[in-house]
Amino acid sequence: MNPKVLILYGYGINCDNETQYGFELAGAIAEKVHLNQLINGDKRLKDYQLLAIPGGFSFGDDIGAGKVLATKIKYNLAEEFSEFIKKGKLIIGICNGFQVLVKLGTLPGFNRNCDKQEVTLTFNDSGRFEDRWVYLKVNKKSPCIWTRGIKTIYLPVRHSEGKCVSRNSMIRERLKEGNKIVAQYVDNKGNLAGYPWNPNGSELNIAGICDETGRIFGLMPHPEAFLYPQNHPRWTREEVKNGEGLKIFKNAIEFVRNG
């Protein structure tokens, strides 16, 4: 049976169609569900194996990107959301979805404490919206199931608040020591580098993190925006064999099928 994925949408989320399509290409049954359908009980999280919170500008990024949506989930769906996590189901937050997960406290989720915020995603150092393609290096020691078999990946970013900052130096060290840093911004030779390679000034060049199980993953770049070779900005000038972002969705579906 193909795994069922809930693609959250509504109130400014605008990458839901691409995210749904990415999961469908990977072999899942992906269903778009409006936030109000969950709050009203018309749809239930427990009926799905995966949850995707796509990118966009939920609630117009008022009072901070992802903050209002995170608050909506916390005060309306806390029990369902917590049960979903406890059962070991998979969650991915992309861009605005990543912002939601850190503001909920779901990531990094030290010691399975998923409701205490330890990091945030704040305004880019450049002081402006960044829309560019970036190189990422994946941490081979990370437990993240979403990035298995991926060493490097090239994806676009589209955000104003993507700078990952820890609450204090102790949290920053715990991220490193626990291998929760899944992906880092690098230059075209694979080395950690500053702007524009690191488009937002994230500490430790963080582009994505996971929880200790590797089942919950948040990242700023958009894998759903690179599903076909033709999505690559230089596909007519370089040999591009596939859409690298699709591998992230396939990894999750394979994990659920084999689990």
* Enzyme catalytic residues: 95, 222, 224
User: What is d(CA 228, CA 240) in angstroms, rounded to the nearest whole number?
Assistant: 9
For β-strands 181-186 and 206-210, DSSP reports them as antiparallel
Using alpha carbons, list the distances in angstroms from residue 21 to 7, 29, 245, 249.
Answer: 10, 10, 12, 10
> What single-letter amino acid sits at 243?
G
Cα four-point dihedral sign 96, 100, 103, 106: negative
Structure tokens at 165: 């900052």
Burial class (CB in 10 A: 0-12, 13-18, 19+), 112: exposed
